[in-house]
Amino acid sequence: MARLTSFLLLLSLLCFVPLCLCDKSYGGKLFPGYYSHSCPQAGEIVRSVVAKAVARETRMAASLLRLHFHDCFVQGCDGSLLLDSSGRIVSEKGSNPNSKSARGFDVVDQIKAELEKQCPGIVSCADVLTLAARDSSVLSGGPSWVVPLGRRDSRSASLSGSNNNIPAPNNTFQTILTKFKRQGLDVTDLVALSGSHTIGFSRCTSFRQRLYNQSGNGRPDMTLEQSFAANLRQRCPRSGGDQILSVLDIISAARFDNSYFKNLIENKGLLNSDQVLFSSNEQSRELVKKYAEDQEEFFEQFAESMIKMGNLSPLTGSNGEIRKNCRKMNS
């Protein structure tokens, strides 16, 4: 009887598995095995190119994660960020969040070129960005997750959407949270996804205000730990040097871990948009503390929030197209 009960339980679970691949947790029509027959080597191609790029420059992992984030917050995860200006397209690359800072487009080009050799016209640029983001996390020591696939590429871009939807480094906590909520993301997603700032760099122009004129009164941000602020002022002058880089995580800038959250507790978050997670809201403060204490908890939530963000308004079915070149529409 016990064996029969176990068998029936196993059978019921097996019957449920196919449904899991297509339910809402995988973005409706998105599912991990989307290319299993049409381009089974797609994942390995993306992983191989990203691995070589990150081996050449560890910063590239953060850059590719950022591309995915900046793409998904504008029209959904549709590869619109990758389009160059041409004809009726005004590129999102020229927006305030992306100009002179968004990078990694050449790596996306390399991935797409290799995919077109092996599986022409099959794998979308939007899915390339999504897979590259996951692989960037893994290659930096961060979590992995199963990536739902099947996105198609947009035939439009939105410069205004890029300027308005993507949180800015000097935004208040409430403004940032509002921008996340517009995308269907909550405070837990906000804190977890901000944890990607455990790797990478930021430009002087993005945090200068905190060092010299936080509130328009000519005084620095007093929530910034003073010795940390003094070191930053040595690198980032009051004027000029906009492109000078500083690490987002002073403990382990090239390793994906939970030290970002430990920095916030010590008032050593580089960007205002980082530090306000600890200083401006009780719920986000408790999440920062939790992730600082438990890296596994952070990794699990980061993976869950990345899947959630990756499912934002995907183009599926006959919507959009599969670009041959990620920088331009097919026709």
Residue 71 annotated as part of some ligand binding site: yes
Let me know if residue 29 belongs to a domain.
no
Let me know if residue 299 belongs to a domain.
yes
Residue 32 annotated as part of some ligand binding site: no
Residue 249 annotated as part of some ligand binding site: yes
Span 17-26, pLDDT tens digits:
333 333 333 4
- The whole-number pLDDT of residue 214 equals 79
**Domain hosting residue 277, numbered range:** 41-200+248-311
Let me know if residue 323 belongs to a domain.
no
Let me know if residue 136 belongs to a domain.
yes
Region 179-190: mean pLDDT is 97
* Average pLDDT along the chain: 91
Contact call for residues 54 and 63 (beta carbons, < 8 A): no
- The whole-number pLDDT of residue 6 equals 43
279 burial (CB, 10 Å; 0-12 / 13-18 / 19+) is middle
Let me know if residue 119 belongs to a domain.
yes
Give 89 or 26, the one with higher predicted confidence. Answer: 89
- The whole-number pLDDT of residue 218 equals 81
Residue 80 annotated as part of some ligand binding site: yes
**Which CATH number characterizes residue 78's domain?**
1.10.520.10
Span 111-143, pLDDT tens digits:
999 999 999 999 999 999 999 999 999 999 999
Let me know if residue 127 belongs to a domain.
yes
Number of domains in the chain: 1
To the query of whether residue 70 is one of the catalytic residues in this protein, the response is: yes
User: pTM above 0.95?
Assistant: no
Let me know if residue 240 belongs to a domain.
no
Let me know if residue 6 belongs to a domain.
no
Percent of the chain with pLDDT over 70: 92
Rounded Cα distance between 47 and 318, Å, is 27
Please report which confidence band the pLDDT of residue 14 belongs to, taking 50, 70 and 90 as the band edges.
Answer: very low
Phi, psi of 18 (to 5 degrees): -60, -35
Contact call for residues 111 and 67 (beta carbons, < 8 A): no
Region 291-309: mean pLDDT is 98
Give 331 or 274, the one with higher predicted confidence. Answer: 274
Contact call for residues 328 and 83 (beta carbons, < 8 A): yes
Please report which confidence band the pLDDT of residue 12 belongs to, taking 50, 70 and 90 as the band edges.
Answer: very low
Out of 70, 308, 323, 327, the active site residue is 70
